Amino acid sequence: MDEELLFLEALEIGSLQDREAFLEKVCADNEPLRKRLRSLLAAHQTDDGLLESPLLLPLDQDSTALSDSSIGPYRVLGELGEGGFGTVYLAETTGGQPAYRVALKIIKLGMDTRHVVERFEAERLALSLMDHPHVAKVLDAGATETGRPYFVMEYVDGIPITDYCDQHQLDLAARMQLFAKVCRAIHHAHQKGIIHRDIKPSNILVTEEDAVATPKVIDFGIAKALQPQLLSPQALTHDQQVMGTPEYMSPEQAASRHHQVDTRSDVYSLGVVCHSLLTGQVPFARTTDESVDALRQRIQREEPKRPSATLARLSPDALGSVARARQLESNSLRGRLRGELDWIVMQALAKDANRRYDSALAFAEDIERYLTDQMVRARPPSVWYTSRKLLHRHRVRVLLYGVSLLLLLSLWASSSYQKWRFAQERAQQVAQNRERLEQALTEAGQWYR
């Protein structure tokens, strides 16, 4: 598992004895990893004075104490949320100009290692490259008095796209129209050489501008530049680090194959969001007692369910609730998803990146074809492709079945051959007996004469 994720998980364990047991379990024979984690945990406890800084509070204290604090030319009003590496605050500008609200993100305590800082700088650069109506704009950047980087983004007073659609009971067409705009925003980022890598509903906020629902993609906090010159060597992701939110990870992200992560990984995550907008469920939901590693293994090995098949597994009450949020009856919703919407989502969720849409724009355009009753480019998998995938996935079982079948065929062939030989021998014996009988009768006739 990723070292940073292990560190964060260990931080949540209050008892030192339980924390040590956790390290013993996850590190096993990896003594260097155990030592590094212990050092990080010790540094977190004694962070040479930084924990006393009034700028940021330890994660287990009330963050509302930051209200009315100033960071650069901004006054903090309260906390908005927490990401993997930073905490986002609502702030407003100060000074002579008219005050306006912004979102201010600062690296949180316990995460200020050199490579995290480099990633944070990469986020600031990534956002500055983009200018799109559905991407939250970067407005400013700087450093706190203690040297912690921060950047200021356009404040989006919205809610996650899935929540917005459910609260407003948007039908399927309205949901897909909204989602197509998100796909085009992600395509804009891809054109700038930026992969988001953490696309999920909470990073797609919907606000209303002139009574029109407007999605905004936020938090390129773990963005990876397609162009290597955008990142310093320290900012490049190591091969075994897991970046993203597990339920929305592409198979290559779940397998930590970061050299294979490209724009099609974002297409996969968009497919998960689309699946959720249609069904209220993600293809691979983490169960209560399931570890992150187990979920990642499922994402790599198992094929996702079609949206219509996902609905078939819901209880009648749950299915009814999902359907009502889309202004449909239960049976009608399943019927609407079968066919083209199933095909579109499943193409985005293909295990093989080469079988997905080759861009977020292609994904958006296929949705728009569906909305305008044109022929979509997504198609159900061919019989040959499905058979080949099944054979590959169950190759051990197929091999055993094949060997068993060969043995049965061999036994049948051997038995049939033995029966044939027995029949031949019987026929030959009967013929010989008949010949002897005829010869005896002939001789007897000659004797009587």
Per-residue confidence (pLDDT) for residue 44, from 0 to 100: 55
What are the tokens at 227?
């162009």
Structure-block tokens of residue 69: 């604090």
CB atoms within 10 A of CB 82: 12
Q: What pLDDT score was predicted for residue 410?
A: 86
Q: What are phi and psi of 156, to 5 degrees?
A: -105, 110
pTM of the full structure = 0.68
Residue 425 pLDDT:
84
Whole-angstrom distance, CA of residue 312 vs CA of residue 330: 10
Instruction: Please report the pLDDT score of residue 61 as a whole number.
Output: 38
Predicted confidence at residue 295, as pLDDT, reads 92
Q: Euclidean distance between the first and final Cα of the chain, in Å?
A: 107
What integer pLDDT is reported at residue 236 of this predicted model? 44
Q: CA-CA distance, 346 to 355, in Å (whole number)?
A: 10
In angstroms, rounded to a whole number, what is the distance separating the alpha carbons of residues 172 and 277?
8
Residue 159, amino acid: I
CB 85 within 8 A of CB 221: yes
DSSP 68: T
Per-residue pLDDT of the chain (449 residues; tens, 9 = 90+): 566 667 767 766 756 667 777 788 888 778 878 777 777 776 555 443 333 333 333 333 344 455 568 888 899 999 888 766 678 899 999 876 788 899 998 876 555 545 656 666 666 677 677 889 999 887 887 777 777 778 788 899 999 999 999 999 999 999 999 999 999 999 999 998 888 888 999 999 999 988 899 999 987 755 554 444 444 444 444 444 455 678 999 999 888 887 788 999 999 999 999 999 999 999 999 888 888 889 999 999 999 999 999 999 999 999 999 999 999 999 999 999 999 999 999 999 999 999 999 999 999 999 999 999 999 999 876 666 567 656 776 778 878 888 888 888 888 888 888 888 888 888 888 888 888 887 877 777 666 65
Active site residues: 198
Q: Where are the beta strands (DSSP E) in 119-272?
A: 138-143, 149-154, 159-160, 194-195, 204-209, 212-217, 224-225
Which single residue is written with the structure tokens 């963050």?
A: 63
Environment class of 80 (CB within 10 Å of its CB; exposed 0-12, middle 13-18, buried 19+)? middle
Cα distances (Å, whole numbers) of residue 305 to 133, 276, 345, 349: 33, 12, 10, 10
| pLDDT score of 227 | 41
User: Cα–Cα distance between 65 and 80 in angstroms, integer?
Assistant: 14
Give me the CATH topology for the region 158-389.
Transferase(Phosphotransferase); domain 1 (1.10.510)
Q: Is 302 left (phi over 0), alpha (psi -120 to 50) or beta?
A: beta
Question: H/E element holding 89?
Answer: strand 86-93
